[in-house]
């Protein structure tokens, strides 16, 4: 890994949310809220009018971005996010990060998830050993 400094941008991850992934994530996580897989239910209660991806799925993608950046999951020390908008199934979001601080071999990274309309669906921070 090259020298990490404030301002370093992490390679982004772009992901399409889809029904298959949403159903698989529901099964793996045990979060069987029909908002994430049932179009009739989601159509009645979702703020988007349809199925939305699990927030923790988007957090997992942000975490994967950090892991790929440092090359070892053991070097990811912390991931903290806030979900700011729902992620409708069938849309693409991009997850990115930018180093905001480096101290004592630990980099703090500002995390973002942005939908295809440019709206932020996730924000947070991660800390990684560099």
CB-based contacts of 117: which residues, under 8 Å, 6+ apart? none
Note if the pTM is more than 0.85: yes
Domain ranges in the chain?
Answer: 13-129
Which residue, 112, 27, 116, 98, is CA-closest to 61?
112
Q: Please give the Cα distance from 105 to 95 (Å, whole number).
A: 24
Q: Which pLDDT value is given to residue 3?
A: 83
Q: How far apart are CA 3 and CA 18, in angstroms?
A: 37
Superfamily of domain 13-129 in CATH is: Hotdog Thioesterase (3.10.129.10)
Beta strand segments in 1-130, E: 13-16, 76-83, 92-103, 106-115, 120-129
Per-residue burial over 20-38, b if 16 or more Cβ lie within 10 Å, else e, is: ebbbebbeeeeeeeebbbe
Per-residue pLDDT of the chain (130 residues; tens, 9 = 90+): 568 999 999 999 999 999 999 999 999 999 999 999 999 999 999 999 999 999 999 999 999 999 999 999 999 999 999 999 999 999 999 999 999 999 999 999 999 999 999 999 999 999 999 9
């Amino acid at each position: 890994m090259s020298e990490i400094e404030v301002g370093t941008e992490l390679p982004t991850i772009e992901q399409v949310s889809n029904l298959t992934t949403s159903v698989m994530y529901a099964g793996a996580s045990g979060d069987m809220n029909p908002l994430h897989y049932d179009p009739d239910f989601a159509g009645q209660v979702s703020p988007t009018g349809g199925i939305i991806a699990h927030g923790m799925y988007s957090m997992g993608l942000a975490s994967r971005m950090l892991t790929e950046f440092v090359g070892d999951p053991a070097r990811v020390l912390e991931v903290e996010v806030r979900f700011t908008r729902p992620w409708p199934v069938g849309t693409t979001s991009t997850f990115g990060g930018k180093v905001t601080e480096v101290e004592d071999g630990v980099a703090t990274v500002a995390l973002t998830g942005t939908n295809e309309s440019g709206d932020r669906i996730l924000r947070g921070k991660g800390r990684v050993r560099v």
